[in-house]
Amino acid sequence: MKKTAMIWVFATLLTLAGVTRVQAASEVDSVVRLLTERLTTAGEGKVIRVGETGLLFLQFDRQGGLAEGGQVELKRTGAPIRVGNETVGYEEETVGMATITKLMKDKALAQMAGNAKGVAKPGDKVYAAGDQKGRLVVTPFTYNNHPTEFSINLQEKLITSLVNKGIKVVERGQLEKVLKEQQLSYSGLVDLSSAQQIGKLLGAGGIVLGTITDQGNAVAVNSRLVEVGTADIVAAAEAELAKTPLVAQGLEKIATESGVTGGSSKSGAGTGKKVDKNSLFFENDAVRIEVVSFVQQPEGLLLKLRYWNRTKLDYELGLADPGENTYLVDNEGNQYSFKEAEMDRRRNLPVGAPRISDILFRNGGLSGKEFIFTAKYFPGGGIRDFSVSIAGLKPQ
């Protein structure tokens, strides 16, 4: 997987904005259609033979939601669904409904319903019909552990798509209200037990969770449907989306329960804000990390950070696999790898007293460049690992 790279949108691209917007919207809609199909599918298989009397011989990869006397939906593969230059799926045309007359392990016999739109053929896909999970909760997909303007837009589109398919979905405002009451953030829903708790409070049968991951010139959208009653993941889907300037812009704007902030998902604190115009920092419930200085030296780029323990107990903090997870990216997309740091292993982080520590990166041509610092930390004391990104770094 490629490392995260920041995209700056220059004024020279504004003349192309109209074309880019149409292209991006089209690709996002294709991804939403793909997610909708895969997340709402329970039993899934295909027609392997059609008898002379119209009896269908079916074979299933998954048999969830199937029962004798129950119905299945037959669909035929159509035009490809493309994201950029890549085919991520295919449109599906509904052939009609069929009733299961005999259900066996991985197989079934079925009879086409009289109001079918077409004639079944071997190779047609077969899906369990009906709403398998009841009322659903759809959460905004997180990017770098935060919901963003883009993920809120994706959430709204996915809700609309599911509703148009006849599935009941909890209103986003209700979800935000319950999250606030339970003192949970969207990123907290990554924990399946928390997702299960929220789903129960909202009277939902299933909850859709997801993440967006940077892959360089594209982003990967991963989603899963969790059954509230058992916390089991019953369906999952993945798609890629080209990272156009508009997509990149939307990903950089952090969203909160009360709306979208002007900050970046890769800069400043968890709220996307800075203390003042000269301060760059990251902050969560456990730690505040402030930029003290960023200078070019003969041996490399030296980043000096100040760590504040925000908890009530001392704990240890260190960089998690820094050779892989700690790096700089400039505004041209060039990456500067980790060289050395004092916190390449856990160090004590006392309460009330900051710890200042350096990280050294490999050098490069720096004329007029801005940088993003990215790292992953592993704390002690029962605190979870977390990722940090701070943008706007300029060498002194």
Structure tokens at 79: 């035009």
CA pair distance 383, 395, nearest whole angstrom? 32
In this prediction, residue 8 carries a pLDDT of 30
Q: How many domains does the chain have?
A: 3
Q: What is the CATH number of the domain that holds 327?
A: 2.60.40
Give the single-character DSSP code of 368. Answer: T
At residue 367, the pLDDT reads 63
Looking at residue 172, what is its pLDDT? 78
Q: Which two tokens mark 233? A: 């993941």
**Boundary of a domain, candidates 233, 262, 291:** 262
One domain, residues 61 and 182:
no
| 172 shares its domain with 282 | no
Does some domain include residue 13?
no
Distance CA 254, CA 149 (A): 6
Q: Are residues 140 and 229 in the same domain?
A: yes
**Strand pairing report for 206-214 and 136-138:** parallel
Q: Which of 262, 280, 296 is the last residue of a domain?
A: 262
Tokens standing for residue 81: 């669904």
Residues facing residue 108 across a β-bridge: 58, 103
CATH number where 238 lies: 3.40.50.10610
φ, ψ at 35 (rounded to 5°): -65, -40
> Is residue 150 in some structural domain?
yes
Strand partners, 211: 142, 222
Q: The pTM is what?
A: 0.45
Residue where the block lists tokens 């080209």: 242
- The chain-wide mean pLDDT, for the chain, equals 76
Residues 276 and 377 sit within 8 Å (Cβ to Cβ): no
Query: Any idea what the CATH number is for the domain that residue 86 is in?
Result: 2.40.30
Are residues 98 and 154 located together in one domain of the fold?
no
Residues of the chain with pLDDT under 70: 1-26, 41-42, 62-67, 88-89, 115-116, 129-134, 185-192, 232-234, 255-279, 364-368
For residue 336, being part of any structural domain is answered with yes
Please tell me whether residues 297 and 254 are part of one structural domain.
Answer: no
Q: Is 251 exposed, middle or buried (0-12, 13-18, 19+ CB in 10 A)?
A: buried
SS3 355: strand
CA 235: distance to chain centroid?
15
Distance CA 193, CA 199 (A): 10
- Pair 85, 124 in one domain: yes
CA dist., res. 102 & res. 111, Å (int) = 10
In this structure, the answer to whether residues 138 and 119 fall within a common structural domain is no
In a domain, 146, yes or no: yes
Q: What is the pLDDT of residue 187?
A: 61
Range of the domain at 191: 133-262
Contact 90, 78 (CB under 8 A): yes
CA distance linking residue 223 with residue 34, whole number of Å: 11
Instruction: Classify 390 as helix, strand or coil.
Output: strand
Asked whether residue 279 is assigned to any structural domain, the reply reads yes
Residue 351 contacts residue 313 (beta carbons within 8 Å): yes
What pLDDT is recorded for position 340? 93
Residue 218 placed within a domain: yes
Buried b (16+ CB within 10 A) or exposed e, 263-285: bbbbbbbbebebeeeeebbbbbe
Write down the pLDDT at residue 339: 93
Q: State whether 214 and 255 are in the same domain.
A: yes
Q: Which of 262, 284, 309 is the last residue of a domain?
A: 262
The per-residue pLDDT for range 37-96, each reduced to its tens digit, is 777 766 778 999 998 778 999 998 766 556 677 778 888 888 887 777 777 667 878 888
- Shared domain for 64 and 112, answered yes or no, is yes
157 and 247 in a single domain? The answer is yes
Residue 28 lies inside a defined structural domain of this protein: no
One domain, residues 182 and 299: no
Q: In the 3-class helix/strand/coil scheme, how is 223-264 assigned residue by residue?
A: EEEEECCCCCEEEEEEEEEECCHHHHHHHHEEEECCEEEEEE
> Is 26 a member of any domain?
no
DSSP 163: H
| CA gap 293, 291 in Å, rounded | 6
Q: Positive or negative CA dihedral for 347, 350, 356, 362?
A: positive
pLDDT at 223: 85
Looking at residue 85, its pLDDT comes to 78
Cα–Cα distance, 70 to 47 (Å, whole number) = 16
Note whether 167 and 209 are same-domain residues.
yes
Nearest Cα neighbor of 144 from 12, 267, 19, 20 is 267
